[in-house]
Structure 1
Amino acid sequence: MAIDNNMMEELALLAKFPSKSLHQGLKLHKDADPQLLAAAERLFNKGVIDSVDGGYLTDLGHDLREHLDKLSLALK
């Protein structure tokens, strides 16, 4: 499986979400980097986050964030 630029941007945004709390999220402003906003929209459309401008991780998002942490640890 190849990781394309869109997926890298989505993973980078996912990594910005707090991993230790279910009650913290992110808010992306309208003047944020267009690639970041596009990544957020794609994650929203995939059901990973609950708002097109960030918001909170869904259950799927929490699972993916946990897997991302494990992957990061394994590759260090």
Structure 2
Amino acid sequence: MPTAATTTVIERKWHTTAEVAEMLGFGLSKTKMLVLSGQIRSVAIGRNRRILPLWVDEYVARVVATAEEVAA
């Protein structure tokens, strides 16, 4: 009896700096500055930087928290 094929969906684990810039609506230069200054965490893999989606979320949460503190 034939068995049904199984489909596996692989979710993206890493983003490039350019992808993060697009997600945030920032320019590439600004995003690279945020990465190099450590404001957005990243890891070097070869000659490239990679960023976990969680790290983008952490950056956004910090920016929002700072904005809320200033507004209060």
Instruction: Please confirm whether the aligned pair reaches a TM-score higher than 0.5, indicating the same fold.
Output: no
TM-score normalised to structure 2 length: 0.34
Question: TM-score, normalised on structure 1?
Answer: 0.33
